[in-house]
Structure 1
Amino acid sequence: MERDFVHQIVGVALLVRLLAITVALFGMVGEAITGPMLACVLVLSATSFSFLVYPSVARFVVHHPLAVVGDLLLTLTVVAALGVESPLVLATFSTALIMGLLFERRVAVLGAVAMVAGYLLIDVLQESAAGGFMITLGIPALYVALVAIGAVVRQAYERETVAARALVSAHKAVASADERARLAREMHDSLGKTLHGIAMAAEALPVWVDRDPARAVEYANRLAEASNQAAAEARTLLVRMRADEPDRPLAQVLAERCHQWAADTGVRCDFTTQGVVDLPTGVRYEVLAIVAEALENVSRHAHASRVAVHLTDEEGEVVVVVEDDGAGFVPEPDGRSPRHHFGLTGMRERAEQAGARLTVTSGPGRGTRVALAVSPVEVAPGVR
């Protein structure tokens, strides 16, 4: 089991022991405190406090569960010293619970048998006058029940851990499938078309070499340009694949993106986030691409001194805002890119692909604000 969980549950069990000691002492008000009783109270309290107060002791017990065997011997010693009728027997119940929590089933069963056998042997040797069901059978039955409860808690936690790990593996598998589908879509939309054009031009080149050498040179130049374009598109795809790591939180990826952009451009970029859940892999890819395009527009055209990127959760939607204090511009009425520019058009197409709402607000001398709102639970029609 996880060490932190073990530490917590053993700590709770020992707190219960201290509470049991306190209750027992209140129950013995008016009775004489004997030397053995005082010694038992001090030893039980000291062992519990040492685990709770000193991390080194706690680490030793967690890493060496056989230390519980020493606690078992201490428990039987307390019972032998004070008798099975002493209220301080209540403080020994935590040992049974800890055995069930820390040991696998067979070892826990052996511990329960040893604890019950030791208790019954002490009861027989002391020939308790009170007897009764609780003394003779009740306390041993409680020991067994507490060991069983500890074992059930241990098994439940282990099953939960296995299920959690399986869920993480499933999420990773889904993320990998989404990543492959997204990469295939990107390659089809950009790199695939470029390579298809190169193939067609290469097929026509031998014909023009014989028929029209000048035209063949023109085709060769086009092939060279298209090859460079294909290489650039491949590099862009690889950069985007490395920039968006689906296993990492969106906020962390965005923060690093902003930090890297500020380092590359020398423009201050402040990133803030508040109460945000993550997005499906395909959607967050488009969101990151839109943010990257917005930052690219700032570095090319805005002449800004400061950029702020906000990631927030507003009324169940993930909202990403990129705003700068740059020169600004006059947006086109239809929201498309200004003439001879294509950045805003691409951003709107990506927003539609992700099922998001894109709002661009700007004006000469007033900077630019790009706001993107998307639901974390909806998957856009074009996103898989």
Structure 2
Amino acid sequence: MPGVAEGGPATTRLAVTFRVLLLLRGMLLAMAVVLRGSAGPGHGLWAAIALLGLETALALAAWRPVLRLVRRLPPLCCLDALLVFAVLVQGGVFGPFFLFTVMTAALAGVLYAWGPVLLVCVAQIALCFAAMGTASPAERHDPGLLIALPVFYPIAACAGIALRILFDQYAEAEEARRRAEAAVAAADERTRLAREMHDSLAKTLQGITLSAAALPAWIRTSPDRAERDARDILSALRVAAREARGLIADLREEAYGLPLPAAVGHVAAGWSETAAVPVEVAAEGSPGDDIPVAVRYEIVSVLKEALTNVERHARAGRVEIRLVRSADGLELSVRDDGAGFVPPDGGRLDLLAREGHYGVVGMAERARRAGGRLCLRSAPGHGTTVTITVPRASWPAGDAAEPAATP
């Protein structure tokens, strides 16, 4: 089909229609044989039917190369019209075989532009009149049929052309939808980066600014305090640099553009190679291509932070990651067999910030932004399990899933 990329959605629909029309052609041929009834095909008609049946069966069996070849060479449809002519001569134009012959024109309408379609239609009309000339006077019906019957060839071709136009329009609509989804994903990405910069980098830089503004006064009045503040400013600058690198790394992270199971596997494999810790990944349920961008981003970010904590603190020998997708939502758990620790009473994860465990607090905040919650289970010597659960009902409203392709 002109203007359609090989292997694209419209080409796939064209291939399906091509096979459907071939099946319909074979069915019409079989019905014509049955409707022939007691008259029964003669030897010549049997030969023509067998040849066309074999042609249809071979085209169905090897439809991919046949479709490519027929699309490149429109004269092959004219050759098929010659085979159909043999059936009309043997079986009669005014018999049940005529309806079968219009499928050639319908296929031409689907496959070609106007020029080749007209060529096939003219060839079929000429051959139809030639077949009418071979009919005996007893077989001839109302003279009006001499004009009416050949008209079915251009009608069938126009139907095929209309179907092809629908394919083109649908392909354009699909492309417009993909562009709209890409625009939504880009807007979501800008919003996410703005939020990340506000929640992390901007606050860190604001603290550095306030400390630096007070530094001259402390130098004059309390050199010791000034020295401590200078060290704090240097430490905060390192944190800001790390946060900036993290944001840049997020821009380059391929996992955020993948379906969630693939993203989890991608992150786990990369971390396992870097940290030299075996990781077992198990994914259950549907692929999850419809998960909103914001939810998928936060879950992948929680996974990355959880693995970072394992590498820094757990001294684990093995990590298990389990992703479960159901009709009610999804759940991701990361379990290690490391040192573990004593979680705060009552699940107060915010208390961990007092001890410098900002990563767990950040994961809890990400879980809330995704519309879910974070659960932390751990005990000294028995490892740690981090679980994020996001019910489907709490997915952000109006958020659309972006195409599952690497940006």
**1:361·1:369 contact (CA, 8 Å) conserved in 2?**
yes
Matched, 1:185 2:201: no
CA distance in 2: counterparts of 1:4 and 1:380, whole angstroms:
34
Q: Do the aligned partners of residues 128 and 75 (structure 1) sit closer, same or farther apart at CA in structure 2, a change above 3 Å counting?
A: farther
Instruction: Indicate the SS of the match to 1:360.
Output: strand
Instruction: Look up the match of 2:371.
Output: 355
Task: Check whether the contact 2:78–2:123 (CA below 8 A) recurs between aligned residues.
Answer: no
Tell me the residue number matched to 2:157: 147
Q: CA deviation at 1:141?
A: 4.6
Task: Measure, in 2, the Cα distance between the counterparts of 1:245 and 1:140.
Answer: 59
Return the alpha-carbon distance in structure 2 between the equivalents of residues 246 and 326 of structure 1: 28
| Contact 2:318–2:337 (8 Å) recurs in 1 | yes
Match of 2:389 in 1: 373
State the match for 1:11 in structure 2.
19
Tell me which residue corresponds to 2:48. Answer: 40
**89, 111, 127: which one aligns with 1:102:** 111
Q: What TM-score, normalized by structure 1, do the two folds share?
A: 0.84
- 1:153 alignment partner AA: L
Alignment check: 8 A CA contact 1:355 1:374 kept: yes
Distance 1:322 1:137, change over 3 A: farther
Count of aligned pairs between the two proteins: 383
Whether the aligned pair in 2 keeps the contact of 1:358 and 1:370 (CA below 8 Å) is: yes
2:267 is the counterpart of 1:257: yes
TM-score, length-normalised on structure 2? 0.80
How big is each residue's C-alpha offset from its partner over 1:154-182, in whole Å with a ceiling of 9 and x where there is no partner? Answer: 22222222111211111111000010111
Q: Is the 8 A contact 2:372 2:394 kept in 1?
A: no
1:344 aligns with 2:355: no
Pair 1:280-2:289 in alignment = no
Report 1:1-384 matches (<5 A): 1=1, 2-28=10-36, 30-31=38-39, 33-54=41-62, 55-105=64-114, 107-108=116-117, 111-124=120-133, 126=135, 128-132=137-141, 136=146, 139-198=149-208, 224-243=234-253, 246-273=256-283, 274-277=285-288, 278-335=290-347, 336=349, 338=352, 340=355, 341-376=357-392, 378-380=394-396
How far off its partner does 1:208 sit? 8.4
Query: CA RMSD of the aligned region, Å?
Result: 3.4
Greater CA deviation, 105-114 or 338-347? 105-114
- Which letter does structure 1 place at the counterpart of 2:340? G
3-state SS in 1 of match to 2:321:
strand
Runs of 5+ in structure 1 lacking a partner?
none
- Residue 236 of structure 1 deviates from its aligned partner by 0.7
Q: CA deviation at 1:212?
A: 9.3
Pair 1:146–1:296, CA change in 2 (3 A): same
Structure 1 position 51, deviation (Å): 1.3
CA–CA distance in structure 1, aligned partners of residues 263 and 55 of structure 2: 47
Task: Return the offset for 1:260.
Answer: 1.0
Retained in 1: the 8 A contact 2:256–2:263?
no
State the 1:291 CA deviation. 1.3
DSSP-derived class of the 2:175 partner? helix
Query: 1:216-250 CA deviation, whole Å, 9 max, x = no partner?
Result: 87776665544433221111111223226554212
Partner of 2:338, secondary structure, is: coil
Change (3 A) 1:343 1:32: closer
Structure 1 residue 77 displacement after superposition: 4.3
For the 8 Å contact 1:208–1:216, the answer to whether it is kept is: yes
Change over 3 Å in CA distance of 1:188–1:286 after alignment to 2: same
Query: 1:371: Cα distance to partner?
Result: 1.8
Task: Please give the alpha-carbon distance, in whole angstroms, between the structure 2 residues aligned to 1:148 and 1:100.
Answer: 6
Q: Distance in 2 between matches of 1:354 and 1:5?
A: 37
* In 1: Cα distance, 2:279 partner to 2:127 partner: 70
Contact 1:61 / 1:67 at 8 angstroms: preserved in 2?
yes
Distance between the aligned counterparts of 1:245 and 1:364, measured in 2?
Answer: 32
Structure 2: gaps of 5 or more residues: 2-9, 401-407
Tell me if structure 1 keeps the 8 A contact 2:255–2:267: no
SS at 1:358's partner residue?
Answer: strand
Preserved contact between residue 243 and residue 253 of structure 1 (Cα < 8 Å) = no
Distance 1:92 1:380 in 2: 56
1:56 is displaced (CA, Å) by: 3.5
Question: Cα offset for 1:331?
Answer: 1.9
Return the offset for 1:87: 3.5
**1:251–1:36: structure 2 CA closer, same or farther, 3 Å change rule?**
same
